[in-house]
Amino acid sequence: MIVAARRSPITTKGRDLAGVAADELASPVIRSCVDDAHRATGSHLEIGDVLLGNCMGPGGNVARSAALAAGLDVSVPGMTIDRQCGSGLSAIISAAESIRAGGRRMIVAGGTESASTAPLRVQGGVAYARAPFAPTGFPDPEMGPAADALARVVGIDRAAQDAYAERSHRLAVSATRSGAFDEEIVAVDGVRADDGPRAGIAALLGRFVPLYRSREPGSDDTRTAGPATAGPATAGPATAEHGQHTAVQPAPSTVTAGNSCRISDGAAAVAFVPAQFRGTAPALALRAHATVGCDPALPGIGPVGAVNRLLGEAGLTMADIAAFEIVEAFAAQSLAVLLALGLAEFAPDVPESRGRSHGATNAVDSDADGATNSVTNSAVTTLRVDDRVCSDGGALALGHPWGASGAVGVVRLFSRLVRGGAPTGTLGISTAAIGGGMGVAALFEVVR
């Protein structure tokens, strides 16, 4: 049972938290989680482990270092998990499974990422941004071009992506002003608030130029270098060498800095306790989870398979879910997932309904930057996103600290459902796409 959930402020790489290392970001969050859990349960449970996701840190087991920096006893071990953008959520799932296997101690789990202090990686005298996500002969695109390719495959235009990004900022600004983040944020190095949400973003989105150029037919994003020398691969149409990759046709680029997340610094964690030690504390219980692989050429679509498997194994449908958190790495990627899951749609625009909420959806004009094209290019349409999705904004507004973002989603569910007073039995899902072609999803239930 998750009885406590906290996060640091999320700040842009190179800004307010630029001098704070990954373990130093996590340690005050861990300390706050432990203290909150002790108060909530009315007991001082022994801590059995600290599990943290981290992608680009210095190595050396960040989780153990953070546990010591948090003032935990030297007997408390730590384990660091790398599943790219799913790392934090995977750490939380691992913690729950450990307790389910009979563990009787509290486990703190989450993720941390300091993009600002990530070490420079060099092979053969050449610096590179990341390690390869796939072996030689498989597609290994950078995440931005992969999102661009996914937009082309699904048919998501620039206007729709900008509209979704505007929604994220608008909701995050509103949440910040209403104090929705106050109880979950732990001050770090004097920083007390996220730096990302922008009230005036709608006026700026149309000014951003596409980040990537279209590739010519026949270009290839498969890795050709060996593991010892490979740097980041290029993006473009994938080959069918292994019989499982999607061919992406060239088209104008639509991914911009405005409809992409910012690389960020941040940490998030939750405190798990065995059910018998929960006392009367309201909690989130992990009821099901799924991690799946998908086409490495289009890694952003991974959450669709994970969520569908999770729902199928739990005997549920999306109608049973009250809250949904997805790591919004790119508007294109988020929309591709939401459209596939029935959590977003494009509907013909009706003048009297423009800008209103329709049933369980937020209506946002897909022609926000002045364009009138749509997925079908046949009429002006309205992008409608289900109210259950990232109701206080997501990574497009807050930022994306890679190894922590999956855990941020669970902290957000805790605030929305537990702190928000949702009744026992209310369900929420947190999900993330993962570089290399994977998706992870977890189903949580409110317990009071």
What is the spatial distance between Cα 256 and Cα 261, in angstroms, rounded to a whole number? 10
The pTM of this model reads 0.89
Extract the tokens encoding 441. 């999803």
11 pLDDT exceeds 90? yes
Q: What are phi and psi of 217, to 5 degrees?
A: -55, 135
Nearest by Cα to 15 from 399, 402, 394: 399
Work out the average pLDDT over 114-131: 92
Return the percentage of the chain with pLDDT > 70, whole number: 85
Average pLDDT estimate for 39-57: 97
At 380 the pLDDT is 60
pLDDT of residue 354: 39
Q: What is the mean pLDDT of the chain?
A: 89
- Percent of the chain exceeding pLDDT 90 equals 81
Nearest to 410 by CA among 20, 51, 19: 51
Q: What is the pLDDT of residue 190?
A: 98
Please write the tens of the pLDDT for every residue from 397-443. Answer: 999 999 999 999 999 999 999 999 999 999 999 999 999 999 999 99
> What are the helix and strand counts (H, E) for the chain?
9, 15
Q: What per-residue confidence (pLDDT) applies to 271?
A: 99
Secondary-structure breakdown of the chain: helix, strand, coil percentages, each rounded to the nearest 5: 30, 25, 45
Residue pLDDT, tens place only, 133-175: 999 999 999 999 999 999 999 999 999 999 999 999 999 999 9
Query: What is the spatial distance between Cα 263 and Cα 400, in angstroms, rounded to a whole number?
Result: 6
List pLDDT tens digits, range 209-238.
999 976 543 344 555 443 333 333 333 333
Residue 112: CB partners within 8 Å, gap ≥ 6? 22, 23, 25, 26, 29, 52, 53, 54, 57, 62, 66, 266, 267, 268, 401, 403, 404
**CA–CA distance, 256 with 207 (Å, rounded to integer):** 9
Domains of the chain: 2-116+140-255+266-447 (3.40.47.10)
